[in-house]
Structure 1
Amino acid sequence: MRKILIPLLSVVILSSCGSANISETTKKTDVSNSSSLKNNKAFNSSYQQIKVEDLKKNLTVIASDEMEGRDTGSPGQKKAGEYMINFYKDLGISYPKQLGSYYQKVPASFMKQRGGWNLPDSENILAFIEGTEKPEEIIVISAHYDHVGSKNGVVYNGADDDGSGTVAVMQIAKAFQAAKKAGNGPKRSILFLHVTGEEHGLFGSEYYADHPVFPLANTVANLNIDMIGRDDPENRGKNYVYVIGSEMLSSELKVINEQANKATNNLELNYKYDDPKDPDRLYYRSDHYNFAKNNIPVAFFFDGIHEDYHKPTDDVDKIDFSLLQKRTQLVFATAWELANRKHRIVVDKK
């Protein structure tokens, strides 16, 4: 997650409400489906694909010294990207056809114009599963795969920030692909978006929003994962996750996420930072913001600021893999609902 607060250019006016306002028709048809997840064999079979051992295997590579801290455009980041692409290839998950590869180039010139003065060209990485019934409607699941590189010869591995989100997206993709192979592919399309340049200014997600592979008007929601492998001092030892932004643009997204949570691991959903006016301004500090400012409903999943944030001690051996698994499963369950419900969620807030 970006450490320095970004300037709020062209900020949309947002508000947070304490209760959802959903029509009776929606309640009866769509939201009630969340509580039936427990009895959904297709969902449960796919859900079980999100395993601790797979998360640990992939994170051990992504956050290794070999990746040199994954600074934007660096050789180490490119190695991490190649590992991720090979993961998708092995699963049989391709890229958006119109893109022509897994890569969306983010030019140095674009980043320089926004304050990334000395950054080289870099790439977003996109994997894609086409929907079976409403392929033109897109659910975006995102995480940034860059970190801050090395300083004075010391590698900052970024296991939590955002290695944890990176491997979570990969495992969610594996779960959806398992459903597809079993004949239960998502009704809406799923874009697995690994963005670059987050630490320097949310550059990769801004580039995607400015140059979308799929029209933003067709993007139903963005579920963004940035740091979900640890706990913060305030919540030490708890089964929790911070959720930010889930009701700021849609009265339905928060309800869907909460219902999915109750049907799965029943984590404590903490809304401490769920306010644009919060002094930490976390709503503006990760990649979901570039979707939200384009009026796309978002939910940002986050574990808080812990003692190893942006330090060389953010290593794999400090990750709580059981908690990482549970949070990843929650995002998958929420995405499953968004992808398979009858109606596209409403955008009814400003």
Structure 2
Amino acid sequence: MKKTVALPRSLAALVAVCSLCLGSCAQSSYQPAPVPQVLKDVEILAADSMEGRLPNTPGHAKAQQYLLKRFQQVGLQPVGGQYQHTFTFSPRGSSVTVPGVNLVGVRTGSSPKKIVVTAHYDHVGTRNGQIYNGADDDASGIGAILALAEHFKNEKPKHTLVFVAFDAEEQGLVGSKAFVSNLPFPKEDILLNVNLDMVSISDKNELYASGTYHYPWIRQLVEQVKLPEQFRLSFGHDRPEQGHDDWTLQSDHGSFHQAQIPFLYFGVEDHPHYHKESDEFQNIHQSFYLKAVEVILKAVQVLDEKLPE
């Protein structure tokens, strides 16, 4: 990212009480509750084995294969017979052309009009021998779109939902620009882009919904979402006079905005782990993240139900 649901559950254990009988103690048993799949997805994508998910590296290819498997597991259908939306680009500071791969899956709704839900799966790789795993940026967004796709597997949406895992966001929104310039369906069918980038770390338990300065009618819908306890949903970071704090063009939603497609961006403010080797799974705020995914899901449900066509 360029800017400087599952319901919340904690890991619990059921422990059998040790009872004394004739001087002997029965064996105690420990059975942890299941870890939500959304946390598993983030942990796997942010593992050292993914090597920071820099495009055109073995770790990046491994992440891509994992996501292809997960797209199939959550019941997303390919577009035109394939999930891959390919393009080429030159990484920053290089004249070499390398391949990029966006992953696209569809949940068909009652209407052909579309809401495109996005996050990016690339990160910055390694620097000075250190792996930058990008748990918040943006394994958290990818985990969230997979959770949403899983939910809508069992709840047919009104509109067709298109889920896209973008590549090469860290190279300058390259994957989303390639997607918007070569859409696999008519641009006129897209009602809205909902972009998720960095949604799992906040000391203030605060998630931002950005973009409503440009599209105020979206705010009226999102404000209908009932929030969990100790969770704050704020609006902002989308006004031109805010300079660098204006996030309008700072993640993949910017590519849609520049193509005159409305967007809603969910994200947190910068934190000490941003683009640092400390952006690890163990440093995400799990309770906040699960609440954020819940809120994003509810927002998409409201938008799906009430968006004007």
TM-score by length of 2: 0.85
- Pair 1:119–1:60, CA change in 2 (3 A): farther
How far apart are the structure 2 equivalents of 1:175 and 1:294? 29
**Residues 265, 193 of structure 1: CA spacing in aligned structure 2 closer, same or farther, 3 A cutoff?**
farther
**Who is 2:127 aligned against?**
151
Q: Distance in 1 between matches of 2:152 and 2:97?
A: 34
**What amino acid is aligned across from residue 282 of structure 2 in structure 1?**
D
Structure 1 residue aligned with 2:82: 101
Which amino acid is the alignment partner of residue 338 of structure 1? L
CA deviations on 1:53-98 (whole Å, 9 max, x unpaired) are 21211111100000000012222112111111111212332212x2
Cα pair distance change 1:243/1:119, threshold 3 Å: farther
Structure 1 residues 342 and 212 mapped into 2: Cα distance closer, same or farther (>3 Å)?
Answer: closer
* Structure 2 equivalent of residue 120 of structure 1: 98
CA drift at 1:102: 0.8
Q: Alignment partner of 1:278: what SS?
A: helix
Contact map agreement 2:88 2:97 (CA 8 A) in 1: no
Greater share of helix residues, 1 or 2?
A: 1
Q: Write out aligned runs for 1:131-146 (5 A).
A: 131-132=109-110, 134=111, 136-146=112-122
2:277 equivalent to 1:306: no
Aligned to 1:201: 172
SS of the equivalent of 1:277 reads helix
Greater relative contact order structure (CA < 8 Å, 6+ sep): 1
Report deviation, 1:263: 5.9
- SS of the residue 2:141 aligns to: helix
Structure 1 residues 121 and 69, CA, compared in 2 at 3 Å: closer, same or farther?
Answer: same
Secondary structure of 1:311's aligned partner: coil
Distance change >3 Å, CA 199–CA 119, structure 1 → 2: farther
Asked whether the equivalents of residues 72 and 119 of structure 1 are also in contact (C-alpha less than 8 Å), the reply is no
The structure-2 alpha-carbon separation of the partners of 1:202 and 1:117, relative to structure 1 and needing over 3 Å to count, comes to: farther
Superposition CA RMSD, Å: 2.1
Amino acid at match of 1:137: K
User: Are the counterparts in 2 of residues 73 and 123 from structure 1 also a CA contact under 8 Å?
Assistant: no
* Aligned residue number for residue 11 of structure 1: none
Residue 293 of structure 1 deviates from its aligned partner by 1.3
Q: Deviations over 1:288-319 (max 9, x none)?
A: 01111122111111111101110111000001
Match of 2:294 among 329, 337, 349: 329
User: How far, CA to CA, are the matches of 1:81 and 1:90 in structure 2?
Assistant: 14
**Which residue number corresponds to residue 273 of structure 1?**
237
Rounded Cα–Cα distance in structure 2 between residues aligned with 1:338 and 1:242: 17
CA distance in 2, matches of 1:71, 1:270: 31
Q: Report the counterpart of residue 305 of structure 2 in structure 1.
A: 340
Find the counterpart in structure 1 of residue 45 from structure 2. Answer: 62
Structure number with the higher strand fraction is: 2
With over 3 angstroms needed to count, the CA separation of the structure-2 counterparts of 1:331 and 1:126, relative to structure 1, is same
Q: Decide whether aligned partners of structure 1 residues 60 and 272 sit closer, same or farther in structure 2, where only a CA change above 3 A counts.
A: same
- CA gap of 1:221–1:266, structure 2 versus 1, over 3 A, is farther
Q: Distance in 2 between matches of 1:119 and 1:102?
A: 22
Report if aligned partners of 1:246, 1:297 keep a CA contact under 8 Å in 2: no
| 1:269-295 residue CA offsets vs partner (Å, 9 max, x unmatched) | 223413133122321110001111122
> The residue matched to 2:300 in structure 1 has which SS?
helix
| Preserved CA contact (<8 Å) 1:230 1:303 | yes
Structure 1 residue 152 displacement after superposition: 2.0
Deviation by residue 1:95-127 (Cα, 9 ceiling, x = unmatched)? 12x2x211001213xx46x97634520100111
- Supply the distance in 1 between the matched residues of 2:94 and 2:255 (Cα, whole angstroms): 17
Gaps of 5+ in 2: 10-34
Matched, 1:297 2:280: no
Q: What amino acid does structure 2 have at the position aligned with 1:102?
A: Y
Alignment match, 1:243: 209
Counterpart amino acid of residue 118 in structure 2: S
Task: Give the structure 2 partner of residue 27 of structure 1.
Answer: none
Structure 2 distance, partners of 1:342, 1:252, is 9
**Is there any run of 5+ residues in structure 1 with no aligned partner, and where?**
5-46, 180-184, 345-350
Asked if structure 1 preserves the Cα contact closer than 8 Å seen for 2:197 and 2:251, the reply is yes
Q: Which of 254, 257, 261 is equivalent to 2:219?
A: 254
Q: Does residue 1:72 correspond to 2:49, yes or no? A: no
By how many angstroms is 1:266 displaced? 7.9
Q: Measure, in 2, the Cα distance between the counterparts of 1:230 and 1:263.
A: 17
Tell me by how many angstroms 1:202 deviates. Answer: 0.2
Between the aligned partners of 1:121 and 1:148, the Cα distance in structure 2 is: 16
The count of aligned residue pairs is 283
Instruction: Give the greater-gyration-radius structure (CA).
Output: 2
Q: Aligned partners of 2:228 and 2:105: how far apart in 1?
A: 26
